[in-house]
């Protein structure tokens, strides 16, 4: 009887895979390509969203306007100071200026304009060293959902970002399930349900007053049983990284998900509030040690001049920034493209 039950299970799984493969519009390749294309379209949003950081970095232009090869060392020092003042952090500022120095020494720079290009290339180099930011971890097993777990400190923008992600995935034809894994704050599930409604996602059936690990386990179980859910987006309560009890709870949530679906979660996205500048480094380090962060989402760039901190996070942690939040609407989540981002910070007008 074992072989009969195995073969009937296989048949059921095949039928479900076929159903999924032919379901309206969604496939992984298409999702990947939609995520890429969006980047090109939304240059303007990123440009507007980074205006304050750009203003802060405009001091770089003053340094470069006075650039003279004779004062090379002094000018580089001044450049480093300016980057430090824009939340680059000591290590990243040094790394970036070292990149500029190397280019100058290779004879690639003569004018201030050349140095500006070298500076941009050097920043892009740091931002891309952590891997392909635009590759979203997805479950490639037919019939199984991809699970994305979103974590971070209080009020950083997790729930809003889940809403924006849901919108983005829905645009590529994916069926999204949202999971109210924040069982701590009373209104959290309602806030998430509003986003689900707005973006055409389903909410998982979460029994009230259960622990977050149980909520997530049941949601993944439900998504697997339904067979029509492509992406599961799990919300979590905000928690301070120095609260070890709550960090342990988060590890438990992740383990509960893996218990039901061993390949999951396929992404653990850490939401960092862009307005906190370099303070986000410590948070990122602790969250990464606890749950293995696969990507960073930097929110509220539109309200801060401290966007330079992105460079430090990628440099120190080697985790790619996958998205940036540049406003409160559902369109205000942008795939992170290093070249586009650096172009927004240092627009080309006078070159
Ligand atoms: N300007 C701006 N505001 C944002 C952005 N992302 C989120 N917010 C706002 O930040 C506030 C907090 O967002 P939430 O999504 O509730 O944050 P959270 O991390 O889920 O908060 P907790 O669940 O309490 O930990 C809300 O007012 C959001 O509208 C962004 O990219 N730009
Ligand atoms: Mg929340």
| Residue 6 domain-assigned (yes or no) | no
Q: Tell whether 71 is covered by a domain.
A: yes
Question: Which helix (H) or strand (E) is 43 found in, with range?
Answer: helix 43-49
Pairing of strands 146-151, 231-234: parallel
- Are residues 111 and 225 part of one domain? no
Do 118 and 166 lie in one domain? The reply is: no
**58 in the same domain as 35:** no
User: What is the number of residues in the chain?
Assistant: 351
Q: How remote is the CA of residue 331 from the centroid of ligand 1, in Å?
A: 14
Residues 67 and 201 in one domain: no
What is the model's pLDDT at position 259? Answer: 97
The answer on 147 and 248 residing in a single domain is yes
Instruction: Flag whether 18 is in a domain.
Output: no
Ligand 1: atom nearest CA of 299 is 31
CB distance 157 to ligand 1 below 6 Å = yes
| Beta pairing, strands 146-151 & 202-203 | unpaired
DSSP string, 265-284: -SEEEEEEEGGGGGGHHHHH
CA distance 72 to 76: 6
Please report, in angstroms and rounded to a whole number, the separation of the first and last CA atoms in the chain. 75
Residue among 49, 160, 333 to mutate when testing ligand 1 (max atoms within 8 A of CB): 160
CA–centroid distance, residue 44 to ligand 1 (Å):
22
CA 162 – CA 106 distance, rounded (Å):
45
Q: What is the pLDDT, as a whole number, of residue 29?
A: 60
Q: Would strands 295-299 and 321-325 be described as parallel, antiparallel, or unpaired?
A: parallel
Q: State the maximum Cα–Cα separation within the chain, in Å, rounded to a whole number.
A: 85
Show the 3-state SS of 83-99: HHCCCCCHHHHHHHHHH
**174 alpha carbon – ligand 1 mean position (Å):** 24
Asked if residues 297 and 325 have their Cβ atoms less than 8 Å apart, the reply is yes
Query: Of all residues in the chain, what percent are helix, strand and coil, respectively (each to 5)?
Result: 55, 10, 30
**Residue 6: per-residue pLDDT:** 61
Does a structural domain hold residue 20?
no
Rounded CA separation 300/286 (Å)? 21
Q: Are 93 and 171 within one domain?
A: no
Q: How far apart are CA 147 and CA 267, in angstroms?
A: 7
Q: What angle do CA 294, 92, 84 make, to 5 degrees?
A: 130
Domains: count for the chain: 2
Ligand 1 neighbourhood includes 299 CB (under 6 angstroms): yes
d(CA 278, CA 222): 40
Q: What pLDDT was estimated at residue 163?
A: 97
Q: In terms of domains, do 208 and 327 share one? A: yes
- Closest-lying ligand to the alpha carbon of 329? 1
In short, whether 300's Cβ falls inside 6 Å of ligand 1 is yes
Listed residues 128, 156, 188: the one ending a domain: 128
Structural domain includes residue 259: yes
Whether 4 is in a domain gets the answer no
**Residue 47's pLDDT is what?**
86
The ligand placed nearest to the CA atom of residue 331 is 1
Q: Which of 133, 120, 104 is nearest to 54 (CA)?
A: 120
> Cα(271) to centroid of ligand 1, in Å?
10
Cα 150 to middle of ligand 2, angstroms: 10
Most informative mutation of 45, 48, 149, 155 for ligand 1 (most atoms within 8 A of CB): 155
Cα angle 112-117-118, degrees, rounded to a multiple of 5: 90
- Domain CATH for 268: 3.40.50.300
Which of 103, 128, 153 is the endpoint of a domain? 128
**195 and 107 share a domain?**
no
Cα-to-centroid distance, 179 and ligand 2 (Å): 11
Position 11 scores a pLDDT of: 65
Contact, 227 vs 190, CB < 8 A? no
- Residue 50 Cβ inside 6 Å of ligand 1? The answer reads no
- Tell whether 254 and 299 lie within a shared domain: yes
Closest C-alpha among 308, 263, 327, 350 to residue 85: 308
Cβ-in-10-Å burial (0-12, 13-18, 19+) of 68 comes to exposed
Residues of the chain with pLDDT under 70: 1-41, 132-134, 208, 349-351
Question: Are 144 and 53 in the same domain?
Answer: no
Containing domain of residue 121, as a range? Answer: 49-128
Residue 159 is inside which H or E element, if any? helix 158-171
Same domain, 234 and 164: yes
Question: Which of 20, 330, 68, 331 lies closest to 175, judged by CA?
Answer: 20
Residue 334 CA to residue 324 CA, distance in Å, equals 5
Cβ atoms < 10 Å from Cβ of 277:
18
Q: Is the CB of 325 under 6 A from ligand 1?
A: yes
Closest CA to 273 of 252, 300, 250, 311: 300
Together in a domain, 109 and 245:
no
Domain CATH code at residue 102? 1.20.120.140
Q: Identify which ligand lies nearest to the alpha carbon of 324.
A: 1
Burial of 205 (0-12, 13-18, 19+ CB in 10 A): exposed
Ligand 1 mean position to 126 CA, how many Å? 28
pLDDT at site 66: 79
Judge whether 69 lies within some domain: yes
Q: Which of 128, 143, 162 is the last residue of a domain?
A: 128
The CB of 156 under 6 Å from ligand 1? The reply is: yes
Proximal ligand: closest to the CA of 164: 1
């Amino acid at each position: 009887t074992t072989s009969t039950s195995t073969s009937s299970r296989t048949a059921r799984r095949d039928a479900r895979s076929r159903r999924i493969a032919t379901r309206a519009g969604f496939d992984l390749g298409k999702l990947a390509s939609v995520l890429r294309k969006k980047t090109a379209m939304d240059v303007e949003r990123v440009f507007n969203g980074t205006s304050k950081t750009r203003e802060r970095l405009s001091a770089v232009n003053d340094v470069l306007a006075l650039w003279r090869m004779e004062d090379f060392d002094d000018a580089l020092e001044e450049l480093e100071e300016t980057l430090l003042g824009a939340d680059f952090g000591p290590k990243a500022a040094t790394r970036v200026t070292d990149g500029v120095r190397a280019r100058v020494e290779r004879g690639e720079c003569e004018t201030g304009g050349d140095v500006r290009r070298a500076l941009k290339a050097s920043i892009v180099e740091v931002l891309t060293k952590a891997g392909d930011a635009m590759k979203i971890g997805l479950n490639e097993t037919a019939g199984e959902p991809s699970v994305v777990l979103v974590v971070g400190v209080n009020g950083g923008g997790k729930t809003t970002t889940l809403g924006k992600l849901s919108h983005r995935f829905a645009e590529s034809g994916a069926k999204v399930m949202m999971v109210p894994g924040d069982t701590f704050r009373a209104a959290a599930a309602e806030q998430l349900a509003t986003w689900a409604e707005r973006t055409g996602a389903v909410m998982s059936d979460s029994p009230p007053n259960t622990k977050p690990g149980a909520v997530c386990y049941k949601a993944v179980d439900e998504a697997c049983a339904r067979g029509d859910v492509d992406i599961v987006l799990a919300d979590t309560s905000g928690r301070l990284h120095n609260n070890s009890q709550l960090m342990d709870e988060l590890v438990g949530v992740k383990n509960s998900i893996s218990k039901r679906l061993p390949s999951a979660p396929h992404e653990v996205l850490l939401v960092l509030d862009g307005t906190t500048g370099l303070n986000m480094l410590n948070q990122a380090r602790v969250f990464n040690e606890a749950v293995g962060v696969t990507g960073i989402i930097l929110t509220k760039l539109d309200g801060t001049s401290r966007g330079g901190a992105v460079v430090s996070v990628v440099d120190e942690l080697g985790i790619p920034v996958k998205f940036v939040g540049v406003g409160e609407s559902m369109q205000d989540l942008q795939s992170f493209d290093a070249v586009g981002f650096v172009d927004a910070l240092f627009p080309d007008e006078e070159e």
